[in-house]
Amino acid sequence: MTTTLLQPGQIEAAAGSIPELRLPPADVFLTRARRLEQLAEGHAMADYLRFVARLAHAQQACLDAGPAGEPPAADRLEQCREYGMPPLAPAGLPRPAGWHDTARALARTVQALLTPAGQAALQPLVEGADAWLDDQATRLLENDTEHVHAAVAPIIGAALQVHWTHLARQLDPAQVARPEHPNLCPVCGSHPVSSVVRIGGAENGLRYLHCTLCSSEWHVVRAKCSNCDNTRDIAYYHLEGGDRVVEAEACPECQTYLKVVHQEKDPNADPVADDLASLTLDLLMDEADHARSGVNWYLIPGHP
């Protein structure tokens, strides 16, 4: 008897139709918050992980309250689908009304947890004019992290996530075209934070990239560089002695990496929380001369 070893892409194709797009579930921020609390136990970055957990709880409360924002009209959605354009791209949508107030409310909620210096660092956001908040949001959305105020960026990003997650939840996967390039979110065109191998149901064993803005997830086969589509000599890195819940999938062609978070190794693993808690792996990849292709707004290098 001979056994044919299938590559991950072949296994997935052999399985027939698979969910290509996972629009965000109603409890996406709650799941993230709980995982962050779990990861904070005994972690070197415990205080920061708990701070982000509190922020994610506050995001869930804002999402539950039904923030402002309506997806484009049916004809516009159809046009986007026909031309393969992400329907919720920030450049093509008005900023949802009330997003400034969401940002200020999130800032006030987390300020209570911070030292006086930390509280003061968020004051520009609480007191800032709408125009300044809009400018910071535009820079964050355009990945212009050099000119983003580092202390306020996680809160601005968190507020945008609330509104865009709400927008994405009003869509149907059938309204969204498959992207020509798998490196950007098919719903809003943003970069992924990381990727996650999910367990259970039709998604079991499939790898999804998780959007930094709208929390949607799209399927990309494993062992394929999501940055340049290369499939040759993809390498996996992990921390020695670790549980391998998080690996870095590295591409020798474009010298970038994206993390893969494995739920089959820990069912509670979350693409955003586990990415944040594995910063040591990023340092290792930096030493190995690989650039990070994922974007995590909870921790971005910006200007103080």
Residues in contact with Zn ion by the rule CB under 5 A: 185, 187-188, 190, 211, 213-214, 216, 225, 227-228, 230, 251, 253-254
- Strand 192-197 and strand 256-262: the pairing is parallel
When the beta carbons of 228 and 279 are compared against Zn ion, the nearer one is 228
Closest contact distance (angstroms) between CB of 235 and Zn ion is 11
Q: Least distance from C-beta 214 to Zn ion, angstroms?
A: 3
Least distance between Zn ion and beta carbon 40 (Å): 27
Whole-angstrom Cα distance, residue 250 to residue 259?
8
Number of H helices and E strands in the chain, helices first, is 11, 8
Provide, rounded to whole angstroms, the least separation between the CB of residue 45 and Zn ion: 26
Q: Which is nearer to Zn ion, 128 or 271 (CB)?
A: 271
| Closer residue to Zn ion, CB minimum distance, 265 or 292 | 292
Distance between CA 49 and CA 239 in Å, rounded? 19
Q: Pick from 76, 94, 96: which is nearest to 85 by CA? A: 76
At its nearest, how many Å lie between Zn ion and the CB of residue 97?
20
Closer of 125 and 196 to Zn ion (Cβ): 196
DSSP 8-state symbol, 149? B
**Helical pair 46-64 and 153-168, crossing angle rounded to 10 deg:** 40
Cβ proximity to Zn ion, 71 vs 128, nearer residue: 71
- Is residue 53 within 8 A of residue 40, CB to CB? The reply is yes
| Six-digit token string for 188 | 């809003």
**Is residue 61 within 8 Å of residue 102, measured between CB atoms?**
no
